[in-house]
Structure 1
Amino acid sequence: MLLLIAQGWISFRVTPEPYPIVRMPSFGLAASPDGTYPATFVRAEASFSDGTSSEIDPYEIMAPFRFSTARPSYDYVFGPERKTEIPSDVIDWLRGRVEELSGGKTPTELRMCWTEADVRLKDAKLENVTPCELTLVEL
């Protein structure tokens, strides 16, 4: 009984929530009564040592991860709301992934942009689009 109480206390005191160890995750948001669904979109663009730049698909960057954890991990580590510096070994890994995805070019930085919007379920049009929240990672 003491173990369950301790787990419950930890579960509600720690951020982000330590599921599924103690609590199961929520099952996501439902569409609002006006027929829209909130979504966060992310883009990434890499700059290279030869002065060029190209768009890099964040899902391709995270391809080595299980699909269900790729985007949450990406947002947690690189997102604008992260609470800590990105560790050097993660930056080394990111540099290697961008280099691999760009055909061997040497990346110098990766700019990632998060935008929130409401998606209308009827026709998939975007409403209430927020400005880009930028994360810049020097590689």
Structure 2
Amino acid sequence: MKENQVKSLVEKAKEIKEKAYVPYSHFPVGAAILYKDNQVIQGVNVENVSFGATNCAERTALFTGITRGYSKDDVVAIAVSANTKDYITPCSICRQVMVELCQADTPVYLTNGNDEIKKVTVEELVPFAFSTMDN
């Protein structure tokens, strides 16, 4: 991806995080996914007093992509944004969902509160991923 495309995707993740529903943690997270047809789907974390019912921004965006007919072959890149000192990383559940719904080499752009960007891949986030039930 070109630098301006990465910055645009990161900005969409940053903008959407303000819509997060976080009455308990007060920790908003935004995600934006670029698909091959240049559509961007955004997601936020949505908390619930029953914490197990909470959904992360990355999964919100990925699941919305599925409902719109996208497959793992359609995902170009993912950006994640939070107001953190260090780079925000997807939780382990989101990482496993990325393994299922993205290619291993899908770029994931992690950001921090200083507007710095770090590029990793899904495979780098989950080097020993559980990826098939056939094993």
Global fold match (TM > 0.5): no
The TM-score bracket by the shorter chain reads: under 0.3
Q: Which has the higher helix share?
A: 2
TM-score, normalization by structure 1: 0.26
TM-score, normalised via structure 2 length: 0.26
Structure (1 or 2) with the larger CA radius of gyration: 1
Pick the structure with more strand per residue: 1
